[in-house]
Amino acid sequence: MRAGWEVVIGLEIHTQLATRSKIFSGASTAYGAEPNTQACLVDLGYPGVLPVLNAEVVRMATLFGLAVNATVARRSVFARKNYFYPDLPKGYQISQLELPIVEHGEMMISDADGNEKRIGITRAHLEEDAGKSVHEGFEGQSGIDLNRAGTPLLEIVSEPDLRSAKEAVAYLKKIHTIVRYLGISDGNMQEGSFRCDANVSVRPLGQQELGTRTELKNLNSFRFIEKAINYEIERQVDLIEDGGTVVQETRLYDSDKDETRSMRSKEEANDYRYFPDPDLLPVEISDEYIETQRRTMPELPDAKQARFENVYGLKIDDAAILTASRALADYFEEVVKATEASAQIAANWIIGDLLGALNREGWEIDDSRISAIDLAGLVNRIHDNSISGKIAKQVFEAMWEGEGDADAIIEAKGLKQITDSSAIEAVVDKVIDANPSQVEEYRAGKDKLMGFFVGKVMQETGGQANPGQVNKILKDKLKG
Ligand code: ADP
Ligand code: MG
């Protein structure tokens, strides 16, 4: 940040809820279908049709509200937000304005100094998505695909509490993790299931009053969000320092040029002529309903991370990595259950080798070619000294290539560790006899040569001699 300035950021996140059918109709929400095959008369905005609320979205919004310590409204109201756009055949979007389903929540993130910081969540409201204009494959005209029209969204609005692009990303990642833990969204950013608009303003350090903000759109990856905000901070500070003023407007981020461009002037709520939708009853939920949902809440990421540190004794960073998704955390716990080795060793194999292999392929844990039980099998063979850590890497690769489980591979490739001391002694004798001058130098005080001898013994045994025993026997014999 430029000296003397402070940035203020508030995020609006659109999370697509993982329901099978749409928010007000029975049409499917599945992604990737042929255009306009998943839009029924309600989604197409035919006259005379009536929306019917999908109860699942209320359940999902309630879970989210509980997860962020918010008030879940006993009564919320759907409103029409009126505007014209080709992908919105009704001429209005059904959303919530004055009485949203979730209000006054919070989320803890860690700031630049690693301290806990509270970010207020103003509200989260339910709304329907619009359709899409399609330009590709059309000459001099545009197509309209209404498959996405009526897809349920939860819009999560933060207080202007974020003070850097990094904080914004940390907050966004945390919300992303939570909606996936709750199972209320797949969070897929490429498919647009998790989108974010960033409101950005700057002000001289120490000033109380907020500066004029711009709203950045088209931010579809964590990396671009950070870049777009940083670009916008520089642009606004430059502008003000040169004597200009920031105009309140909507700006589009162009990732190819790494810049933001003006898209349209900012509209106000009253431009939309919001009014309560007469076709939908207010949503009323009871305390009992909320308590029923509370009982189905899964363990959330912060609690899980703390448990992984306390119960399994994992390092903080490792606990954070392993709780990044529920699936990964479950995988880890399955490995731990099936092995006698320490949980930290299981964690090391998952974080180092398994996540490494998955990253190479661009895969998630669910795509892993090695099951938790099979990985535990490998860890067990290291733990009982059947193989060394080094040979285990080779076995891991073979498992990844689908050659079988650890025992089968160790057997088939003859990789079992040599722990028979007389066999190791024989090799050590051979190495000592073959390298008289090195032996002499070692005995004259050149301790460093130990590595040379260990290397030779390992070479002779194809890396299969037990390294601890090799060291001990070599030391004894070299003493002379
Ligand atoms: P709108 O109705 O235009 O969407 P809201 O008042 O709902 O505006 O705010 C939208 C988002 O903008 C919220 O996340 C809020 O925290 C943020 N915000 C509001 N004012 C500012 C500002 N001056 N600078 C940065 N962010 C702001
Ligand atoms: Mg808004």
Which residue's CA is minimally distant from atom 13 of ligand 1?
Answer: 10
Which atom of ligand 1 lies nearest, measured to the CA of 201? Answer: 24
Which residue's CA is minimally distant from atom 2 of ligand 1?
Answer: 269
Name the amino acid, one letter, at 253.
Y
Q: What is the mean pLDDT of the chain?
A: 93
> Token pair for residue 105?
């929540």
To the question of pTM greater than 0.75 for the whole model, the response is yes
Q: Binning pLDDT at 50, 70 and 90, where does residue 269 land?
A: low
Closest CA to 398 of 351, 353, 457: 353
Q: Is 210 in the pocket of ligand 1 (CB under 6 A)?
A: yes
Which atom of ligand 1 lies nearest, measured to the CA of 12? Answer: 14
Q: Is 158 in the pocket of ligand 1 (CB under 6 A)?
A: yes
CB under 8 Å to 241, separation ≥6 — which residues?
none
CA of 366 to the centre of ligand 2 (A): 35
Contacts 24+ apart (CB under 8 A), 432-436: 432/477, 432/478
Residue 305 backbone class (left: φ over 0; alpha: ψ -120 to 50; beta: rest)? alpha
24-59 per-position pLDDT tens digit: 999 999 988 999 999 999 999 999 999 999 999 999
The average pLDDT across 408-431 equals 88
Residue 389: is its pLDDT beyond 70?
A: yes
Q: Which ligand neighbours the alpha carbon of 268 most closely?
A: 1
Q: Is 478 in the pocket of ligand 1 (CB under 6 A)?
A: no
Which residue's CA is minimally distant from atom 22 of ligand 1?
Answer: 213
Residue 264: is its pLDDT beyond 80?
A: no
Mutate to test the pocket of ligand 1, among 199, 216, 233 (most ligand atoms within 8 A of CB): 199
- Give pLDDT, residue 385: 83
Q: Is 10 in the pocket of ligand 1 (CB under 6 A)?
A: yes
Q: Is 246 in the pocket of ligand 1 (CB under 6 A)?
A: no
Rounded distance between C-alpha atoms, residue 364 and residue 218, angstroms: 25
- Give pLDDT, residue 196: 95
342-384 per-position pLDDT tens digit: 999 999 999 999 999 999 999 999 999 999 999 999 999 999 8
Residue 390: is its pLDDT beyond 90?
A: no
Q: Are 235 and 212 in contact (CB under 8 A)?
A: no
Q: Are 396 and 348 in contact (CB under 8 A)?
A: no
CA of 59 to the centre of ligand 1 (A): 27
95-111 per-position pLDDT tens digit: 999 999 999 999 999 88
CA of 327 to the centre of ligand 2 (A): 33
- Give pLDDT, residue 219: 87
Rounded distance between C-alpha atoms, residue 347 and residue 349, angstroms: 5
134-152 per-position pLDDT tens digit: 988 888 899 999 999 999 9
- Give pLDDT, residue 126: 98
Between 232 and 460, the more confident residue is 232
Residue 259: is its pLDDT beyond 90?
A: no
Residue 262: is its pLDDT beyond 80?
A: yes
Residue 127: is its pLDDT beyond 70?
A: yes
157-202 per-position pLDDT tens digit: 999 999 999 999 999 999 999 999 999 999 999 889 999 999 999 9
Say how many C-beta atoms besides its own lie within 10 A of residue 338's C-beta. 17
CA of 239 to the centre of ligand 2 (A): 25
Which residue's CA is minimally distant from atom 11 of ligand 1?
Answer: 10
CA of 185 to the centre of ligand 2 (A): 20
- Give pLDDT, residue 387: 87
Q: Binning pLDDT at 50, 70 and 90, where does residue 251 land?
A: very high
Q: Is 160 in the pocket of ligand 1 (CB under 6 A)?
A: yes
Name the amino acid, one letter, at 142.
S
210-248 per-position pLDDT tens digit: 999 999 987 889 999 999 999 999 999 999 999 999 999
Q: Is 213 in the pocket of ligand 1 (CB under 6 A)?
A: yes
Rounded distance between C-alpha atoms, residue 82 and residue 171, angstroms: 31
Share of the chain above pLDDT 70, in %: 99
CA of 263 to the centre of ligand 1 (A): 17
The average pLDDT across 67-72 equals 98
The average pLDDT across 305-320 equals 95
Residue 203: is its pLDDT beyond 90?
A: yes
Residue 292: is its pLDDT beyond 90?
A: yes
Which atom of ligand 1 lies nearest, measured to the CA of 267? Answer: 3
Per-residue 3-state assignment (H helix, E strand, C coil) for the chain: CCCCEEEEEEEEEEEECCCCECCCCCCECCCCCCCCCCCCHHHHCCCCCCCCCCHHHHHHHHHHHHHCCCEECCEECCEEEECCCCCCCCCEEEECCCCCCEEEEEEEEECCCCCEEEEEEEEEEEEECCCEEECCCCCCCCEEECCCCCCEEEEEEECCCECCHHHHHHHHHHHHHHHHHHCCCCCCCCCCCEEEEEEEEEEECCCCCCCCCEEEEEECCHHHHHHHHHHHHHHHHHHHHCCCCCCCEEEEEECCCCEEEEEEECCCHHHHCCEECCCCCCEECCHHHHHHHHCCCCCCHHHHHHHHHHHHCCCHHHHHHHCCCHHHHHHHHHHHHCCCCCHHHHHHHHHHHHHHHHHHHCCCHHHCCCCHHHHHHHHHHHHCCCCCHHHHHHHHHHHHCCCCCHHHHHHHHCCCCECCHHHHHHHHHHHHHHCHHHHHHHHCCCHHHHHHHHHHHHHHCCCCECHHHHHHHHHHHHHC
